[in-house]
Amino acid sequence: METARLILDGRELFSSCSIGVSIYPNDGATSLDLLKHADTAMYHAKNNGRNRFQLYDAAMNTMAEERLQLETDLPHAQERGELVFHYQPQLNLESGRIHAVEALIRWQHPDKGLLAPAAFLSLLEETGGIVSVGCQLLLSACRQTAHWHAAGFTDLIVAVNLSGREFWHETLIPNIGNALAQSGLPAHALQLELTEGIFMTDVDSAADRIRALKALGVAVSVDDFGTGYSSLAHLKRFPLDVLKIDRYFVKDLPNAPANEALISSILALCRGLGLGTVAEGIETRAQLESLRTLGCPIVQGYFISRPVPAEQIIELLGRDWLQAFDTTQHVQPKFTVI
């Protein structure tokens, strides 16, 4: 489905929709049943990336029941401290050291175990709980990174994702300022990650919002670059610091000349605009070496490390990764977390 581009009062806006479809008589004998099942299918479309349609399937009822249970459990999860950050390292291919860690939310559910964000993040968004949870976890990430700085890793950056609801919420700027003040973390050590869709809903207002974030001294990056709405003109309009190259362009390396050409062009573009670059989704040594040859400065992915609890990061920070890559056959760390 295409995203509609609108101009309202001189502002550039983008609109998308998620559609659920149920068909008589297979999906219901009454209008009430058909509407209920179409609604279920619509939420399934939203949970699978939005901007698409979804036909109803009876198996969705089980998924809806599980979703309802998670929705019931979520408020207690925040109270009990079950929502936590795991951290995934970003490796500097020039120095061989960890340059940054991305903070990724997890739910340590008492019955279902460790849940990845795909299982519950949309619920937090829809209920509005993401704002209070995000504020709490942002402070946690800043304090943890300040602790790593105190341990001697003073150049380490922490990247924290912002949802659309968080980005547009009126408390965003004061919440970030408070987190930095309470943790003692230098502002330049905090990087806020946005997906393209967030700031493309209202381009002009988003640019103002990003400038307000930059005024705090923090860095701003755009995630999944190249898979959404971005154009070169928009990159010029937004005061960004870092582009993250989506795993879509990385997954077929090194056997994808077209992808290599695209990545090389993105890297050249970023150098010209003074932007940093991070390539995501590195799962093999061949991918890493291909990106290294192309001149990509920072990489992130399971080949380096899965997201791990904070207490496991300290071991990774002191490692000379390139020496290990160049002298030994790299063995993936055996972490059991997701």
Task: Mark whether 166 and 50 lie in a shared domain.
Answer: no
% of the chain with per-residue pLDDT over 70: 88
Task: Mark whether 97 and 52 lie in a shared domain.
Answer: no
Q: What is the pLDDT of residues 42-55, one digit of tens each?
A: 877 877 767 788 89
Between CA 68 and CA 249 the distance in angstroms is 36
For residue 62, being part of any structural domain is answered with no
Q: Which of the four pLDDT bands, split at 50, 70 and 90, describes residue 76?
A: confident
- Beta-strand pair 11-15/4-8: antiparallel
Tokens at 77, concatenated: 């999860």
Q: Nearest CA to 245 among 271, 223, 276?
A: 223
Q: Nearest CA to 130 among 160, 154, 151, 91?
A: 160
If one counts every other C-beta atom within 10 angstroms of the C-beta of residue 4, the result is 10
If one counts every other C-beta atom within 10 angstroms of the C-beta of residue 63, the result is 14
For residue 280, being part of any structural domain is answered with yes
Q: What is the pLDDT of residues 156-204, one digit of tens each?
A: 999 999 999 999 999 999 999 999 999 999 999 999 999 888 877 788 8
For residue 273, being part of any structural domain is answered with yes
pTM exceeds 0.85 for this model: no
Task: Mark whether 243 and 189 lie in a shared domain.
Answer: yes
The pLDDT assigned to 333 comes to 41
The pLDDT assigned to 330 comes to 46
Task: Mark whether 51 and 89 lie in a shared domain.
Answer: no
DSSP-assigned beta bridge partners for residue 299: 91, 279
The predicted model gives 251-269 an average pLDDT of: 93
The pLDDT assigned to 19 comes to 93
Task: Mark whether 24 and 105 lie in a shared domain.
Answer: no
Question: Count of domains in the chain?
Answer: 2
Task: Mark whether 125 and 44 lie in a shared domain.
Answer: no
At residue 71, what is the residue type?
A: E
For residue 285, being part of any structural domain is answered with yes
Task: Mark whether 136 and 278 lie in a shared domain.
Answer: yes
Task: Mark whether 38 and 122 lie in a shared domain.
Answer: no
E strand or H helix at 84, and its extent? strand 83-92
Q: CA-CA-CA-CA torsion for 204, 224, 116, 209, nearest 10 degrees?
A: -20
Q: What is the pLDDT of residues 297-336, one digit of tens each?
A: 999 999 999 999 999 999 999 888 878 776 555 444 433 3
Task: Mark whether 39 and 124 lie in a shared domain.
Answer: no
Where does a domain end: 57, 73, 98? 57
For residue 96, being part of any structural domain is answered with yes
b/e 79-91 (16+ beta carbons within 10 angstroms → b): eeebbbbbbbbbb
Task: Mark whether 158 and 30 lie in a shared domain.
Answer: no
Q: Residue 168's domain is classified under what CATH number?
A: 3.20.20.450
The pLDDT assigned to 335 comes to 36
What letter would DSSP give residue 308?
B
For residue 68, being part of any structural domain is answered with no
Q: How many angstroms separate the most distant Cα atoms in the chain?
A: 68
Q: Which of the four pLDDT bands, split at 50, 70 and 90, describes residue 124?
A: confident
Tokens at 229, concatenated: 């709405």
The predicted model gives 256-279 an average pLDDT of: 93
Task: Mark whether 21 and 129 lie in a shared domain.
Answer: no
The pLDDT assigned to 301 comes to 96
* Domain region containing 24: 4-57
Between CA 52 and CA 41 the distance in angstroms is 11
The pLDDT assigned to 175 comes to 97
For residue 115, being part of any structural domain is answered with yes
Mean residue pLDDT of the chain comes to: 87
Q: What is the pLDDT of residues 162-172, one digit of tens each?
A: 999 999 999 99
Task: Mark whether 192 and 311 lie in a shared domain.
Answer: yes
More confident site: 337 or 277: 277
Token pair 């581009």: residue: 5
Least trusted range by pLDDT, from 42-46, 151-155, 217-221: 42-46
The predicted model gives 218-238 an average pLDDT of: 75
